[in-house]
Amino acid sequence: MIRHSLVILSFFSISLLAGAQTLSVPLSPSASAAGNPLTSPSYSADVAFLFDLEKKFAQDTATGGGAAFAKWFAEDAVTLGNGEAPVVGRAAIAANTKWSPSEYQLTWTPEGGRMGPGGDMGFTWGHYAGHAKDKDGNPIEHTGRYMTVWKKQADGSWKVELDASNDEPAQKEDCCKLP
């Protein structure tokens, strides 16, 4: 666990010092120019590659549920959920992600990303939403922010090394409301 923290902190320090590529734009139909390097010069091939990984990851999860979600993680990966203990290792992550797509849908949209200077590690961040139904069949939505750290594996594939999420911040108009 300490090794992961040091690696991640070192990566972030190196990335910041080396001026890693950044993209921080919404990905919506109305923002089609965001993916255009002529209108968004910070949108690089490296960031586009990370966004493509996220797209494939999200598509697999939408069709395959928790089992498909877990397959994207490296053997030594870590997940950090809001208010939860870290989950370490793909097997433990898989044990915690046993939902089917018919009972739970997890969707997310990357809003930004950076690739490290070596081109073998990068991260994305954005917004996620989890959709389910309560015992009465009423829709439930849980939203928040996420960050995914990607690392190129020895076999050339890319896997998730760290997935962290936290609840959506309260809206200012929600302050002081009584339930």
Domain of residue 100 covers: 2-27+37-168
Residue 18: which CATH number? Answer: 3.10.450.50
Residue 139, in any domain of the structure:
yes
* pLDDT per position as a tens digit, 67-105: 999 999 999 999 999 889 999 999 999 999 999 999 999
175 inside domain: no
Is residue 177 assigned to a domain? no
pTM, two decimals, is 0.73
The answer to whether residues 99 and 133 touch, using CB atoms and an 8 Å cutoff, is no
Query: 161 in a domain, yes or no?
Result: yes
Instruction: Identify the pLDDT of residue 36.
Output: 54
Could you tell me if residue 176 is inside a domain? no
20 burial type by CB count under 10 A (0-12 exposed, 13-18 middle, 19+ buried): buried
Edge-to-edge, what's the strand order for the sheet holding 121-133?
23-24, 105-115, 121-133, 139-152, 158-167, 73-80, 87-88
Is 68 part of any domain?
yes
pLDDT band with cut points at 50, 70 and 90 for residue 44: confident
- Predicted confidence (pLDDT) at residue 20 exceeds the cutoff of 80: no
How far is the C-alpha of 119 from the C-alpha of 151, rounded, in Å?
Answer: 9
Answer with the residue of higher pLDDT: 129 or 25.
129
- Mean pLDDT taken over the chain: 81
Chain length of the chain: 179
pLDDT attached to residue 39: 53
Strand partners, 17: none
Domain count along the chain: 1
